[in-house]
Each structure stands twice: as C-alpha cells, then as structure tokens.
Structure 1
C-alpha cells in the first residue's frame, strides 16, 4: 500500500501512461521468433534470435523488459529490507553492521537503475531523491542539519521526509547518518520508509497495468511515446551508453579531478567505502541488459566481443585494489583509475561500432546531454 507522498505521483504517472486502445492490440509474436515460451539453451537467452542480419524489436523488447523487471524488483526488495532493518536498528534489535549491510544492498540494487533516467524514474524524480549525487554544495549535510531541529516522532514519518529537501530523502543521507557522528535514529527510519515507498512506486509505474512496460509493448503510430518498436530499442541503447558515461565522467572523473588536485571526497559513497562496488554493480547491470536484452539480435561474434570488453572493464576496476577515494591521491594507483576510465570509454566506442549497427540504432538524447 502506498503512503500519501507516492499515491498521487503514481496515479499521475499511470494516467500519463494510459495506452490508447488502438495501440493495445499489438499482434502476437510469430511462432519460432521471439516466442514467450522459448529459451535458447546454447546462448542462455530467454528467446531465440531471428535470422542473422534481422532485428526482432518485439522480441528484444520482451527480453529487455524481463531484465528491467528483475532489476527494478531487486531495488524494491532491497529498499524494503533497508526500511525493515532501520526500524529494527532504532528499536535496538539490529546492530550497526546489519543496518550498514542493508544500506549496501540497497545502494548496489539501485546502481543499475541509475542508467534508466527516463519514464518512471524521470517522472517520479527518483534519480535525484534516491541518490542525491554529485553534491558539490553539501546539500545533504545542510538538509540533515535542518532535520535535526524537528521532533523525533516527525523524523520517523516518511511524510515528513517527503516534504523536505530531495537531498535528505535517499541513500547519501542515510550514509551520512550512519558513518558520521550525527544521530542516526529516528531519521533513518523515516528516510528508509520513504525509499521503500519509492521502490514500490517505481516498480508499479513500470510493470503495473498501464505502466511503462505496457506503453513499450504497445509501440506504434498511436502510441504517445514510442511510434515504433525501434524507438524503445533506441531508448534502451541510449540508456546503456548513458550509464557508461556516468561511470567514466562522474564516478571516476569527479574524484580524479586533475593530477595536481584530485577530489577524493567527490567519490560516490566514499564514507562507506562503496564507491568501487557501486561502479561494478552498474557495469554488471549494463552487461546484463546487453547479454540478455540486446544480444539475441546481435551477431554472435559481435556479441561475444562486446561482452569480453565488459569483462575487461571489470578487470580494470579490480586492478585498482583500493577505494577510488584513496587511489586517486597516489600517482601509482591513480594511473589504474585513469586506465579504468579509458577502458569504459573504449567500451562505449566498441558498442557504437559493433552493437548499435547490429540493432539498427544510434544513441539519442540522454540525461547526460547538456550537463
């Protein structure tokens, strides 16, 4: 059951997503191509790919939506677990290690979703509220100071959190409360309950009746967003590219700064030491979309090569061998961070050369444009 802050937002979102009746009558998949009950054992894909040189955007959409449903479902469950553990911690029945582990789980579950800043994520403002970062002017710290002045019973209420700053509504705020000398309880209860609501609202805005998945499934001339199935493919491909841009320019580029002036405290989640794991989780999520969502319509040689470059990128991250916030401060380890950044950009170029043409799409406008 949604609490009041999200009920209105979800109703609005679903109203915007209502699919025209004419568009709902999309033709079923043909036997042997993108069948819902088929599975490609050889490639480990949910559906058989069409003939080489042919893109079945309907099958690609179904595969991709299956990936998204798992990823959004994982965040819904992790945010609910965080809320439950926060309440237990403030009641004295869960220790500090348990609440920090629950924060880690929620942050790593969110990391893949950071790439999909369109549709429900955009409409519900989730990218800003879940992870208010980068925070160049310390809005998180200032917002938490303002919360300290409120009565404890109000801090445990997600409605109070909903009325405050976006900087105090998500993961960075909880991290600050748990990893500094600030009083964590009961504010972490209200913030985590707010996030639990948001996790559920995001999942339903995507996958409930008349959600964004239904909109994507009904792509066609009468669709208010996707005039053809190819347009949804392009949106997803652009989102994957945007996710890699976020890794290269923000998660690595911001703490790198310059050789003479790195910015270690600009690394995401540096207080909790989660910076590297968040990057790995985002890359894993993007690789999952490529492997299970896109790759059934990609030539096997190109599919194998792109996934190999993903593995090489993860290897570069592992080679850093220390938190990003520490690595950028020493010349030897800084080189490894720069090598990781170069590899991510190389992966983007390889995707543009080998993956996009296979799918018949190029990147479109993304959340990174104009930043």
Structure 2
C-alpha cells in the first residue's frame, strides 16, 4: 500500500502531460502555424498582383495578426526559424541600414526569392516589410521599381518561411513532443519534460512582452524611448503586446485540463488596462500620464504571469517565482 499513492500521483502527472501536450498542439500550435502560412500566401499572391504599399497594408496586418499566436514560441523549428520572420528588437538599426544598402545598390538578389533566403535576417520578414510599406521615406515607390520588386521578394520569402515552419512542426516536432518519454526520444526523456517545456514558453512570452514590448519604449521615466516600440510604424505596438498576452493565455488554457479562474481574471484585467491606452504605437510615453497607463498594462502582464504560475506551475511541481529564462 505504501507504493500506491506515489504511483497514483505519477500516473496522474503522466496523463496530464499527454493530454496537455496533445491539446496544446492540436488546439493551438499547429492550427496557428497553418493559419500563418495561409495569410503569408495571400500576402505574397497580392504582392505579385500589385506591390504598392497602400494596397498591401491590409494583407500585411492580417499576416502579422496570424503570426502573433505563435510568435514567441522558441522550440524546435521555431528556435531559430522565428528570428527571420520577425527580427526584433533591432537595437542597432540593422534593418534600416540593410534595406537602404539593397535599394541603393539595386542588389539583384531582390529578383530571386530563393536566393533572398541567404540575405541577412535584418532584411527579411515582417519588420523589413513594415519598413517598406509604412515608412514615409520608403513607401512611396512605383509599380515596377526596384523597391517594388524587393517587396514582392520579401513577401515570397516570408511565405516560404511560414510554410517551412508549418511543415516542420506538423511533420516532425509535434511528434517529438507527443512521444516524450518513449524509447528513442532524446529530446524529452519523460512526458512531464514536454509539458514543462511548453509551460516555460508561456512564461518566457509574458516576460518578453513585459520587458521588451512594453519596457523598451517606456525606457526610464527620465528618458522614455518611444522609437524603440515594436512595429510602431504600422501602429501595432499595443496590438502586439495584447495579442502576445492572449496567445500565452490561450496556450495556458490548452495546456491545462482544469479551470483557471485566476488566470482568466488576470487576462480580463489586462484587456481593461489596454483599453485605456490611446496611442497604439506608444509614441506618447513621453507624457507622464500616458506612460503610467503603459506601466499599468505592464503590471497586468506580470499579474497574468503570476496567475499562470500559481494555477499551472503548482500542478507541475514548479514553484511560483520560477525563472522562465533559465530553460529549466
């Protein structure tokens, strides 16, 4: 009888691990990458018809929206694959300088989408496209111009990346997560390891949103840095922060097969905090009252993080205060 209780706990954890991993993959991750690939295909198709910035902006926004539910995953194919989809933060301004060089030199690499995959990640993906579609100094290009060709090629390259990620997740890495603990799986030696890996992604995403998406443009009280806001040119800074938090909440809900009332309440408070922010690009953080509203949103992200740690981490045997950056 002494062995029955520990055995029951072990079986319960194993069952939770299997259900949580499968549900997270089937309900969230795999559909997320498939949807992203559909939107990049639509964007690339539209770019071949007309590359003009104004015409492409709606498809671009839809593509970025589709990216955000899976943007902060750094597992398997996304560990490096996500970097060239959305290169940010760009602390040294590599994107602007690389695009300027390509345009100034009329580099022929822009005429070949396959060759463009070898270009610096700073000139690929969503943030490179944002520069060309929304920066007033770059977006007024003509049909048939070099910049027009560059936009079309970046869109095609982004589409190729999206489909490669979707295939890699569905055909390979999903199986690695599902087979955790089975013979031959050297990535996850137990079922609970896979569950903990996904849990870590949730907390890492919320840390990134609080510290980077919100923290970078806020800077310090004496020196705010609005120009450092993510996707500010396309007015997505607030939207990205909220969508990233929604993605973390969605992953948490899929990962857990039990109710998460504190987590749900924290998400509702986060939406409330976001509703009071008037500038979607955080360009008004130089104003103390506007900055305070972003600070309140930042605290709401921290509160969501803490609620998930309490309601999910405790079930996994991970104490609140666990550092998601440790990779443990």
Task: State the TM bucket, normalised to the shorter chain.
Answer: 0.7 to 0.9
User: Which of 134, 147, 150 in structure 1 is aligned with 2:89?
Assistant: 134
Q: 1:237 — aligned with what?
A: 199
The higher relative CO (CA closer than 8 Å, separation ≥ 6) is in: 1
Matches within 5 A, 1:50-61: 56-61=16-21
- CA deviation map 1:300-349 (0-9, x unaligned): 3xx12211211211221121122242231111111000011111112212
Distance 1:361 1:72, change over 3 A: farther
User: Which of 91, 98, 101 in structure 2 is aligned with 1:146?
Assistant: 101
Alpha-carbon contact 1:132-1:166 (below 8 Å) kept: yes
Alpha-carbon contact 2:113-2:154 (below 8 Å) kept: yes
Q: 1:341 — aligned with what?
A: 298
Structure 1 residue 171 and structure 2 residue 126: aligned?
Answer: yes
Q: 2:55 — aligned with what?
A: 98
Distance 1:60 1:243, change over 3 A: same
Per the alignment, in what secondary structure is the counterpart of residue 269 of structure 1?
Answer: coil
Q: Measure how far apart 1:103 and its partner are.
A: 1.2
Structure 1 residue 195 and structure 2 residue 158: aligned?
Answer: yes
- CA deviation map 1:235-254 (0-9, x unaligned): 11000001101110000000
Structure 2 unaligned runs (5+)?
Answer: 1-10, 142-146
Per the alignment, in what secondary structure is the counterpart of residue 95 of structure 2?
Answer: helix
Q: 1:159 — aligned with what?
A: 114
Per the alignment, in what secondary structure is the counterpart of residue 193 of structure 2?
Answer: helix
With the length of structure 1 as denominator, give the TM-score of the two structures: 0.77
Alpha-carbon contact 1:128-1:166 (below 8 Å) kept: yes
Q: 1:74 — aligned with what?
A: 35
- CA deviation map 1:25-62 (0-9, x unaligned): xxxxxxxxxxxxxxxxxxxxxxxxxx999952111111
Distance 1:348 1:175, change over 3 A: same
Q: Measure how far apart 1:196 and its partner are.
A: 0.5
Q: 1:109 — aligned with what?
A: 66
Q: Measure how far apart 1:159 and its partner are.
A: 2.4
Alpha-carbon contact 1:255-1:324 (below 8 Å) kept: no
With the length of structure 2 as denominator, give the TM-score of the two structures: 0.87
Q: Measure how far apart 1:258 and its partner are.
A: 0.7
Aligned length in residues: 306
Q: Measure how far apart 1:151 and its partner are.
A: 4.5
Q: 1:34 — aligned with what?
A: none
Per the alignment, in what secondary structure is the counterpart of residue 177 of structure 2?
Answer: helix
